[in-house]
Amino acid sequence: MIGLSDTLLPAIAPGSCGLLVSVRSAAEAAAALAGGSDVIDVKEPSAGPLGAPSAQTVCAISKRIGNRLPLTAAGGELVDAVSPPEFREPDLAAARGVAIVKFGLARAAKTDWRSQYARLMAVASAHRPLPVLAAYADHQAANAPPPAEALSATAQAGSSWLVLDTWDKSPGAKALLECLERDELERLLRTAQCAGVHVVVAGRLDASAVARVAELLVKVGGGGLVGVRGAACHGGRTGTIDEAAVRQLAKTIRSHAARPPFPLRGVLTDS
């Protein structure tokens, strides 16, 4: 079974939550770091909800951040992922310091996505980074399996992380809290907690939604991360990360969490 201690992510404090900021360049990563982000996520927002960045971008960001923060990356959609033999040394895996690579489930509803994910996990048992599923709250529009099924597959595969996001990033599209009722989100988070799965909650979250999600993550006691891109940018999702915006979001999250998500930040638990 692959747990937190088997990845480059530090152990997250129970009952806490942190901030994950998605960036597209080393300069943006530096701004997110300075603003107080707890995790740096690398993606290319112009290439979709989980647009995979180039290896050069990941390596430049890894070099800029070093081991000061955990690093994750988007890998695109699972249906487009390479076969397990090729996954052993993909560009993203070669980038120093990447803890997990996120794969979305768009267009996977009528495929054997569980078996495909299990194959990637089998490879990851010996080769980092860890592949993590990204479930879409607007799963019907994405032709994806419901989040509850993604959570079940995550637990069954022995992974400790799941991403909950939205697929449709177009102007006017529904945000996560418009796709899921609060009670429904709380049930999902509690189920994840019982399964030993930490959740990154994202999906067009504005500052108000960040506060509500942080409060809920702390309430369920299982820990987790609030993921943002647009709310941390000047000019929206395709704009540029703004250090002041990140700082305000981090302050909002810490007003709800009694402790930081990574008490030993900078100490990687891969022993």
What CATH number is given to the structural domain containing 184? 3.20.20.380
Directed axis angle between helix 243-254 and helix 26-35, to 10°?
40
State how many domains the chain has: 1
Asked if residue 259 is part of any domain, the answer here is no
Integer angstrom CA distances of residue 227 from 39, 162, 191: 9, 12, 20
pLDDT of residue 21: 98
Asked if residue 101 is part of any domain, the answer here is yes
pLDDT at 120 over 60: yes
Catalytic residue among 43, 63, 219, 251: 43
Asked if residue 2 is part of any domain, the answer here is no
Higher per-residue pLDDT: 215 or 125: 215
Asked if residue 247 is part of any domain, the answer here is yes
% of the chain at pLDDT higher than 90: 68
> Is residue 169 annotated as part of the catalytic site, yes or no?
no
Instruction: Return the closest-CA partner of residue 225 out of 214, 233, 241, 216.
Output: 214
Integer angstrom CA distances of residue 101 from 71, 131, 239, 254, 269: 9, 5, 23, 26, 18
CA atoms within 13 A of residue 194's CA, in its CB half-sphere: 8
Catalytic residue among 102, 169, 174, 251: 102
Residue 269's pLDDT band, with cuts at 50, 70 and 90, is very low
**Domain membership of residue 38 as a residue range:** 15-254
> Is residue 63 annotated as part of the catalytic site, yes or no?
no
Q: Residue range 183-207: average pLDDT?
A: 95
| Alpha carbon 142 to chain centroid, angstroms | 18
Give bridge partners of residue 72 from the DSSP assignment: 41, 100
User: Using CA atoms, how far apart are residues 14 and 139, in angstroms rounded to an integer?
Assistant: 29
Asked if residue 267 is part of any domain, the answer here is no
pLDDT of residue 14: 79
pLDDT of residue 90: 46
Residue 219's pLDDT band, with cuts at 50, 70 and 90, is very high
Asked if residue 265 is part of any domain, the answer here is no
Asked if residue 28 is part of any domain, the answer here is yes
Scan for tokens 């890894």, then name that residue: 62
The reply to whether the predicted model has a pTM over 0.85 is yes
Asked if residue 165 is part of any domain, the answer here is yes
